[in-house]
Structure 1
Amino acid sequence: MTLASVPLELSISEPAQFLRQLFDIAVRRAQPAMAMESHLPGLPTGRTLVLGAGKAAGAMAHGLEKAWPVDAPLSGVVVTRYGHVPPQHRNAAASRIEIVEAAHPVPDEAGEAAAQRMLALTAGLSQDDLVICLISGGGSSLLTLPAEGLTLADKQRINQQLLASGATIHEMNTLRKHLSRIKGGRLAAACHPARVVTLAISDVPGDDLAVIASGPTVPDASTCADALEVIHRYRIDVPSSVMRDLERGTLETPKPGSALFAGHSTHMIATPRQSLEAAADAARAAGLNACVLSDEIEGESRDIGRMHAALARAVANDQGAFQRPCVLLSGGETAVTLTRLPEGAKPGRGGRAGEFCLGLAEGLQAQAGVWGLAADTDGIDGVEDNAGALVTPDTVARGKAAGLSLADHIARHDAYAYFQAIGDLVVTGPTHTNVNDFRAVLIL
């Protein structure tokens, strides 16, 4: 099913299809074209430069270019994840904004080269010029330019440690900002004295612009001391020279109140809450009770899955705060802390959405009348080719019939293999947007 084919009327007669349709509605609400034109600034007297980074940067750039006057000067470059350039942009005869591709979640040379190009393009900007920055989730990895004393290999190693640590996105990006020459407000500082307008799609709990893509265009209130705290808390290995620079405060970021940000403006064009509310409205139109639990849920993915299972079982047994038939919706950014594997066990595959589904299936205990879906709204769960997975009342039974142990797959963080074997991976391909996790639990 494509996003364009989402039906206007939903039916719960096919629970799995119903949940997938809710996901598609949530993703469609977050498409940049839905809101780009209404947030564009007026034309400057000078030139307009477009810079950007994130999983939605390609779609944002394409939408901006379509809405921008054809006779008005426009140029620039944005970086997105490999495979996330919109097809309509690839097929365009000519484009004023270049879209380049780089690696996510671990940065590569292409991302570093893109960051260097962006800084180079800011040279010579004047107060008559306008810079439109298109920022979305994933930009922290895609827009990488190591601080003095760090190499790209260092940044790759540090990023891999952070991803495996269980740190929250706020904590990870606090450190990333202080180890970069372009994040944490430094891109905006390089644009001075031009006016900067930031258009953002949120993928973080709380929609904090300083956290989205590590805030390259907004002031950073976090400090070198905060970055050191993350290093110590999660035992992140960084070069001794960088540790000394952090301790001395020489890697500090531009702070709120700085004249560098005078006259700048920011606009949030899509958020997780908006997408969850769109799904909730669709569910209510189909005759269900719908509750958005929160768009800011964090924690271990499997544990959040078990928590949702406890809520669902209570509702299914008419003991909860919600009346069935209902759907419980939530978002946020959970984590997968890679634990020591059982002796002789092979490491598994999968991201936080799949791990949530493992925890949900375990916690539901084959509860009748409950289905669940968790997926990443960018269409990629971790580094796999699926967006997430589906849980049904017989998920565990079908797993056993296929010779699978749910406990073993949980212990090895192997959600992908489990749900692939029973045919319940959710595969969408790149969606060209990113408003973080989408979770829906249906209780009939």
Structure 2
Amino acid sequence: MIASNTGLQTSPDPRAQPREFLEHLYRVAVDRALPLSTMGAYLPAPPKGRTLVLGAGKAGGSMAQALEALWPADAPLSGLVVTRYEHIPPRPEGLPQRIEIVEAAHPVPDAAGEQAAQRILALAQGLTADDLVLCLISGGGSSLLVLPAEGLTLADKQRINKQLLDSGAGIGEMNCVRKHLSRIKGGRLAAACAPAKVVTLTISDVPGDDPAIIASGPTVPDESTCADALAILDRYRIEIPAPVRASLESGALETPDPKDPIFATNEVHLFATPQQSLEAAAAAARAAGIEAHILSDEIEGESREVGKVHAALARAVAHRGAPFARPCVILSGGETTVTIRPRQPGQAKGRGGRAGEFCMGLAGALMGQASVWALAADTDGIDGVEDNAGAFVAPDTLARAQATGRKLSDHLDRNDAYGYFDAIGDLLVTGPTHTNVNDFRAMLVL
């Protein structure tokens, strides 16, 4: 074991334990995004009036608990936060609960999320200029905080959300639609809180760290328009009720824009980002004697195709020592997409998410390349809707899968990364991590 200065006691030897070393880097990246150690620097002083906490996201439970621990014990604090099912961390012993935490569904919203959104919007009513609203926002809030616009039902929102997820639309496109079909997203929650001051504390899970995209920006101004949302719906051939289409066409569902005075005194603080987590992982690799290179924290595109591009880079390093010298770790983040392929008659439904699909594309393009290992995982611990965070790729991945009768092309055809990597014991299963800075990818070239 090699000493590490990353906050964890030891790092596995990357040459003797490449898989364990990659998992170590992942856990370092996740630890950097946990709120308790980073949120405190951004907390305002208690106000003259009351302090109300509202929030939504996969990290909502840990953010609420961190705030309870960091907020002065003698200062009043109350509110409501919604997080994903089974994403409430164990409560530290002796920590009083001052913020209610409820659970709802992700990535397709459910009635619990709608009820939570209704309650949050109700809590925002009747505030004064002496009051403070602390909004805890993290990735996943778009699905967890669902309040359909006039003319839409929850069933409509569920259908539209699922079609967007399956279409291959980017996160910015999906959240543009979500904002304009909601009564709480796209700055509308901030409008409901006025005239109270709103301080948004957020963990970024989106390329570019734009607060207007994180959880569809419930407390920040929105520069997108109804026309933008309509164009996206038409591009991906997603049907909406005729009255709602008419409302988009007329501009009746426009969101508050940056010129709106309701945002004049509000603040937004990003205290955990994908880049910061990648930098923490890079530092851990260097502490173990392996040079690290961060490609980008903003990589988007079809997951399997992004995997092929990463494979080309790893092969170039392995064969020619360029553009990076061996040994090295190549890191990247962002949010890729998976376009769900239509199933053929009698074909089993595939299971998996972005990280697993990336790994299938990577493994296929690496073609058993010696001395290259990789890990791709979602930093929230859940790849799509499965119980794994992601998957590993090794030089013998294709051979071991073939020995079990698995054919990579078949699994790609039905988007079945889970079945492919589960058969060879190469899933990474962590359980919920209680944070979310999106995709984490690491390739080790020895």
Contact preservation (8 Å) 1:272, 1:295? yes
Corresponding residue number in structure 1 for 2:20: 17
Shift of 1:10: 4.1
Shift of 1:320: 2.5
Corresponding residue number in structure 2 for 1:158: 160
Measured in 1, the distance between the counterparts of 2:79 and 2:348 equals: 45
What amino acid is the match of 2:31?
A: R
Shift of 1:342: 4.0
Q: Deviations over 1:137-189 (max 9, x none)?
A: 00000000000000000000000000000000000000000000000000000
Corresponding residue number in structure 1 for 2:3: none
Structure 1 residues without counterparts, runs of 5 or longer? none
Structure 2 residues without counterparts, runs of 5 or longer? 1-5
What amino acid is the match of 2:412?
A: I
> Which SS does the other structure have where 2:320 is aligned?
coil
What amino acid is the match of 2:252?
A: T
> Which SS does the other structure have where 1:41 is aligned?
coil
What amino acid is the match of 2:161?
A: N
Match for 1:394 among 393, 396, 401?
A: 396
Q: Is structure 2 residue 64 aligned with structure 1 residue 61? A: yes
Corresponding residue number in structure 1 for 2:230: 228
Change (3 A) 1:92 1:171: farther
Corresponding residue number in structure 2 for 1:214: 216
> Which SS does the other structure have where 1:306 is aligned?
helix
Shift of 1:38: 1.1
Shift of 1:92: 5.9
Q: Deviations over 1:37-56 (max 9, x none)?
A: 11111110000000000000
Q: Deviations over 1:192-227 (max 9, x none)?
A: 000000000000000000000000000000000000
Shift of 1:341: 2.9
Match for 1:196 among 194, 198, 202?
A: 198
Q: Deviations over 1:299-352 (max 9, x none)?
A: 000001111111001100025201110111000000000122344321210000
Q: Is structure 2 residue 270 aligned with structure 1 residue 277? A: no
- Aligned pairs for 1:38-437 (under 5 A) are 38-88=41-91, 94-437=96-439
Measured in 1, the distance between the counterparts of 2:326 and 2:96 equals: 53
Change (3 A) 1:230 1:197: same
Contact preservation (8 Å) 1:145, 1:182? yes
Q: Deviations over 1:64-119 (max 9, x none)?
A: 01111111111000000000001126x66741100000000000111001110111
What amino acid is the match of 2:35?
A: P
What amino acid is the match of 2:50?
A: R
> Which SS does the other structure have where 1:205 is aligned?
coil
> Which SS does the other structure have where 1:87 is aligned?
coil
Measured in 2, the distance between the counterparts of 1:423 and 1:6 equals: 26
Contact preservation (8 Å) 1:10, 1:282? no
What amino acid is the match of 1:146?
A: P
Contact preservation (8 Å) 1:371, 1:442? yes
Give me the CA root mean square deviation: 1.2
Change (3 A) 1:38 1:321: same
Shift of 1:5: 9.7
Shift of 1:257: 1.5
Change (3 A) 1:270 1:5: closer
Measured in 1, the distance between the counterparts of 2:392 and 2:243 equals: 47
Measured in 2, the distance between the counterparts of 1:218 and 1:22 equals: 33
Work out the number of aligned pairs and report it. 440
Shift of 1:7: 3.5
